[in-house]
């Protein structure tokens, strides 16, 4: 192979990313196996002749220090890792845009909200909180929902979660909370789980966390997909208009596809079957053009409302129920493009709560105030330089000018003499100047008082909203909360901690406390914890239930179809069409991944082999073996699990007559319930697909 003369591989029509890493489409190419490919070079652009063998003294001799290619390659490899995020280490990001519905000029001067229909580029990173970067997606955990909006007046980050409240009221407790949640420091486990003594010890000693405890024990922490969960800014912020007038605001992201979660037994199995379940789901949806969407909702209120509300709007352990203050939908967020490179974008994106734009302002929420210190600091640790803002994923997409300079890896290096101001160099040579009109101004709220370490009395009610959350759930969801608490506390070895938790539950709901105490076989019911403020009964808020806010169809969901040789080709096609017509997806699972020969002799490719496509990966299943094919399934444990799990997880199951043999073998009841829908002349696939819109057949007895 002759190596032609090379020039910078980044020349030519390469993307920004290509330019960064030199994997460009430009530069010199040569023919390999009849195809033009770029010439491999060192980081210095020197063409490489041999990338298979290091430089040696003799064929079997020692490697030479002189081998600059080997040393550069291994040196770079050795430094590939950067510290993972101390929380939210495991995440997945995508690009998209925010589209504003109407002008909100009467509420805020924020540029992105001025013009109807205006699109603002966005990058979103979803994450779990406690687990390491390699932990499974379906850990029971809060999900991060961090949105970076590249507005024309700077980057605005709404660094939110999928739960609108938090564990603690004051940032000073955050390190304790996270230490308690992470693996215990002596044993180094459990990974990505709160089901251990340290976590529940801390929680049971922190009554302010009780509202959050209800949320994390609900199915909100085991979402079916990032696409089916809500997001929240959590804190109260301010909207500021052009005259300097302001109102409080809470931010909500509402998924267009409605909410949906998995059940716990399913979550445990999904983690084994596909630890990347959530990221794969987002990747597949976006790559197939099924772009997920959320609407941005605002709860806007003034000081008078804040003063009349029973809780302190600066307390991040509280919500404002939607029934009390409706959520106004003001725009939509669409994710339509995956990253080119996971590290460059998803890993290196640096969200900071203090990234704010004119027209938005902070509130005095002590948790938010603490976060504003934390995020800048953590980016320096993680990304290694104050110049992390120069990375393409973090840089504003609007013009930016200032006198910051130098530092590690500086990439935006201003020209000219002026690197300070005031200066007398005049005009453009003097560089940028501040703008009192356009610049960010802080709302001049006044708050003074003695310097003291104190928690306001208005933060003292720890149980009323926890009770409200629990009582706003459907019976099914209440059962899940009780089961989750029983599960988690069963993993706690110290009986006193279990009892302490039940003593808090008694202040939330007596029946819930009883259920958990019985589930734990506690010897007697403990005394209720002494509340700082007596809990009150608040009206239930249906907006808090997932099941009350599910989708109205199967759109965006996935059907898994178990097939064998001889499966009915016509039926398969009709079923696929019925699902795709409502915006759903279909995957075929066959005994072998090579696929099957269908009834009409056609070859049908499979998406998954039986043991790689368990039913937990699907929202509903169809079991369509042929008479001849079903017998081979009976002896296969994954086939029996496929139907037994679908049954246990309340799934809708479409079937044809031969499938009954498999149901019997898997121990399903002889009398099938209405969640099992036969596919025959009297019951076309469309009937099954419309039933699937309910997502689960919760009436199943004994599942």
Q: Is the peptide bond before 190 cis (omega within 30 degrees of 0)?
A: yes
Question: To the nearest whole angstrom, how small is the minimum distance from the Cβ of residue 398 to ligand HDE?
Answer: 22
**DSSP secondary structure of 579-609:** HHHTT-EEEEEESSTT-EE-TTS-EE--SEE
150 annotated ligand-binding residue = no
Question: To the nearest whole angstrom, how small is the minimum distance from the Cβ of residue 474 to ligand HDE?
Answer: 26
CB neighbours of 158 closer than 8 A, spacing ≥ 6?
A: 146, 147, 149, 233, 251
Give Cα separations from 472 to 215, 478, 504, 543, 657 (angstroms).
11, 9, 19, 8, 41
Q: Which residue has the tokens 């925010």?
A: 98
Q: Confirm if 137 and 128 have CB atoms less than 8 A apart.
A: yes
State how far the Cα of 486 lies from the Cα of 200, in Å rounded to an integer.
Answer: 12
Binding site for ligand HDE (CB under 6 A): 85-88, 91, 125, 127, 144, 146, 159-161, 166, 171, 174, 234, 316, 349, 351, 367, 370-371, 374-375, 378
Question: To the nearest whole angstrom, how small is the minimum distance from the Cβ of residue 125 to ligand HDE?
Answer: 4
Question: To the nearest whole angstrom, how small is the minimum distance from the Cβ of residue 369 to ligand HDE?
Answer: 8
Which residue lies nearer to ligand HDE by CB, 159 or 586?
159
Question: HEC profile for 205-237?
Answer: CCHHHHHHHHHHHCHHHCECCHHHCCEECCCCE
337 annotated ligand-binding residue = no
**DSSP secondary structure of 146-175:** EEEEEETTEEEEEEEESSSS-S-SSGGGHH
Q: Confirm if 517 and 538 have CB atoms less than 8 A apart.
A: no
Which residue lies nearer to ligand HDE by CB, 109 or 125?
125
Question: To the nearest whole angstrom, how small is the minimum distance from the Cβ of residue 195 to ligand HDE?
Answer: 21
Strands 608-609 and 585-590: parallel
Which residue lies nearer to ligand HDE by CB, 394 or 545?
394
Which H or E run contains 512?
Answer: helix 510-519
User: What number of other Cβ atoms are within 10 A of residue 629's Cβ?
Assistant: 19
Q: Which residue is nearest to ligand HDE (CB)?
A: 144
Choosing from 88, 95, 196, 252, the catalytic residue is 88
85 annotated ligand-binding residue = yes
3-state secondary structure of 534: coil
Choosing from 69, 100, 155, 161, the catalytic residue is 161
Which H or E run contains 638?
Answer: helix 637-648
State how far the Cα of 4 lies from the Cα of 38, in Å rounded to an integer.
Answer: 11
Instruction: Say how many residues make up the chain.
Output: 703
Which residue lies nearer to ligand HDE by CB, 181 or 508?
181
423 token code pair = 């200066």
Q: What DSSP state is assigned to residue 47? A: B
State how far the Cα of 303 lies from the Cα of 320, in Å rounded to an integer.
Answer: 14
**In the annotation, is 161 catalytic?**
yes
Residues facing 654 on adjacent strands: 622, 677
Which residue lies nearer to ligand HDE by CB, 380 or 593?
380
State how far the Cα of 201 lies from the Cα of 264, in Å rounded to an integer.
Answer: 23
Q: What DSSP state is assigned to residue 699? A: T
Question: To the nearest whole angstrom, how small is the minimum distance from the Cβ of residue 256 to ligand HDE?
Answer: 21
Which residue lies nearer to ligand HDE by CB, 91 or 190?
91
Question: To the nearest whole angstrom, how small is the minimum distance from the Cβ of residue 139 to ligand HDE?
Answer: 15
Q: Is the peptide bond before 511 cis (omega within 30 degrees of 0)?
A: no
Which residue lies nearer to ligand HDE by CB, 296 or 623?
296
Q: Confirm if 96 and 291 have CB atoms less than 8 A apart.
A: yes
User: What number of other Cβ atoms are within 10 A of residue 266's Cβ?
Assistant: 24
**In the annotation, is 507 catalytic?**
no
Question: To the nearest whole angstrom, how small is the minimum distance from the Cβ of residue 159 to ligand HDE?
Answer: 5
Question: To the nearest whole angstrom, how small is the minimum distance from the Cβ of residue 399 to ligand HDE?
Answer: 25
Question: To the nearest whole angstrom, how small is the minimum distance from the Cβ of residue 76 to ligand HDE?
Answer: 25
Which H or E run contains 679?
Answer: none
174 annotated ligand-binding residue = yes
Phi, psi values for residue 101, rounded to 5°: -80, -65
User: What number of other Cβ atoms are within 10 A of residue 603's Cβ?
Assistant: 9
Phi, psi values for residue 465, rounded to 5°: -75, -25
Which residue lies nearer to ligand HDE by CB, 376 or 569?
376
Which residue lies nearer to ligand HDE by CB, 89 or 506?
89
Which residue lies nearer to ligand HDE by CB, 128 or 260?
128
Q: Which residue has the tokens 């699990």?
A: 641
**DSSP secondary structure of 398-415:** S----S---STT------
State how far the Cα of 572 lies from the Cα of 282, in Å rounded to an integer.
Answer: 26
382 annotated ligand-binding residue = yes
Tally of CA atoms within 13 A in the half-sphere of 28 that contains its CB: 15
322 token code pair = 């939607």
Which residue lies nearer to ligand HDE by CB, 316 or 571?
316
Question: To the nearest whole angstrom, how small is the minimum distance from the Cβ of residue 84 to ligand HDE?
Answer: 9
Give the residue numbers of the binding site.
85, 125, 174, 371, 375, 382
Give the residue numbers of the binding site for heme.
85, 125, 174, 371, 375, 382
Residues with catalytic annotation?
A: 88, 161
């Amino acid at each position: 192979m002759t190596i032609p003369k090379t020039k910078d591989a980044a020349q030519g029509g390469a993307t920004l990313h290509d330019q960064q890493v030199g994997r460009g489409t430009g530069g010199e190419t040569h023919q390999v196996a009849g195809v033009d490919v770029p010439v491999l070079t060192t980081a210095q652009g020197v063409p490489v002749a041999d990338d298979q063998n290091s430089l040696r003294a003799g064929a079997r001799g020692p490697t030479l220090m002189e081998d600059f290619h080997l040393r550069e390659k291994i040196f770079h490899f050795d430094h590939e890792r950067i510290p993972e995020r101390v929380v939210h280490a495991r995440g997945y990001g995508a690009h998209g845009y925010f589209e504003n519905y109407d002008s909100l000029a009467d509420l805020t001067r924020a540029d992105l909200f001025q013009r109807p229909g205006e699109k603002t580029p966005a990058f979103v990173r979803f994450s779990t909180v406690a687990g390491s970067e390699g932990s499974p997606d379906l850990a029971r955990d809060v999900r991060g929902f961090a949105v970076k909006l590249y507005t024309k007046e700077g980057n605005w980050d709404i660094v939110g979660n999928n739960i609108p409240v938090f564990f603690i009221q004051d940032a000073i407790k955050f390190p304790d909370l996270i230490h308690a949640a992470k693996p215990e420091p002596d044993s180094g486990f459990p990974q990505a789980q709160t089901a251990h003594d340290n976590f529940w010890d801390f929680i049971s000693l922190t009554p302010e966390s009780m509202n959050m405890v209800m949320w994390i024990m609900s199915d909100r922490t085991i979402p079916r997909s990032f696409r089916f969960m809500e997001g929240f800014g959590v804190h109260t912020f301010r909207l500021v208009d052009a005259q300097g007038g302001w109102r409080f605001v809470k931010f909500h992201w509402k998924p267009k596809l409605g909410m949906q979660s998995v059940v716990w037994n399913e979550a445990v199995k999904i983690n084994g079957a596909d630890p990347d379940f959530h990221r794969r789901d987002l990747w597949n949806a976006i790559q197939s053009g099924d772009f997920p969407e959320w609407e941005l909702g605002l709860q806007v209120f003034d000081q008078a409302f804040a003063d009349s509300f029973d809780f302190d709007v600066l307390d991040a352990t509280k919500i404002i129920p939607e029934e009390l203050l409706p959520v106004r939908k003001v725009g939509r967020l669409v994710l339509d493009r995956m990253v080119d490179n996971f590290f460059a974008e998803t890993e290196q994106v640096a969200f900071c709560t203090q990234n704010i734009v004119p027209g938005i302002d902070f509130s005095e929420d002590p948790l938010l105030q603490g976060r504003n210190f934390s995020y800048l600091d953590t980016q320096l640790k993680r990304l290694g330089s104050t110049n992390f803002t120069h990375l393409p994923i973090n840089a504003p997409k609007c013009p930016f000018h200032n006198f910051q300079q130098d530092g590690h890896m500086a990439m935006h290096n201003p020209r000219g003499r002026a690197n300070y101001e005031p200066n007398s160099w005049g005009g453009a040579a003097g560089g940028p100047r501040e703008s009192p009109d356009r610049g960010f101004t802080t709302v001049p709220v006044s708050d003074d008082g003695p310097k003291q370490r104190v928690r306001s009395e208005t933060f003292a009610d720890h149980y009323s909203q926890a009770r409200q959350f629990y009582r706003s759930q459907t019976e099914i969801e209440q059962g899940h909360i009780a089961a989750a608490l029983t599960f988690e506390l069963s993993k706690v070895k110290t009986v006193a901690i279990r009892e302490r938790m039940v003593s808090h539950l008694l202040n939330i709901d007596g029946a819930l406390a009883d259920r958990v105490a019985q589930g734990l076989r506690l010897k007697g019911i403990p005394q209720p914890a002494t509340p700082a403020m007596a809990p009150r009964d608040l009206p239930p808020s249906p907006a808090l239930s997932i099941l009350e806010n599910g989708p109205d169809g199967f759109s965006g969901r996935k059907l898994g179809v178990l097939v064998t040789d001889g499966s009915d080709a016509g039926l398969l096609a009709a079923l696929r069409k019925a699902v795709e017509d409502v915006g759903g997806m279909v995957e075929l699972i066959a005994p072998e991944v090579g696929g099957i020969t269908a009834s009409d002799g056609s070859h049908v490719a499979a998406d998954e082999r039986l043991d790689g496509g368990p039913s937990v990966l699907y929202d509903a299943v169809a079991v369509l073996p042929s008479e001849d094919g079903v017998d081979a399934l009976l002896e296969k444990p994954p086939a029996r699990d496929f139907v037994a799990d679908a049954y246990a997880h309340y799934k809708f199951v479409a079937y044809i007559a031969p499938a009954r043999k498999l149901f019997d073998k898997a121990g399903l009841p002889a009398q099938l319930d209405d969640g099992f829908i036969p596919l025959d002349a009297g019951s076309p696939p469309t009937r099954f697909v419309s039933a699937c819109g309910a997502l689960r057949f919760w009436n199943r007895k004994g599942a």
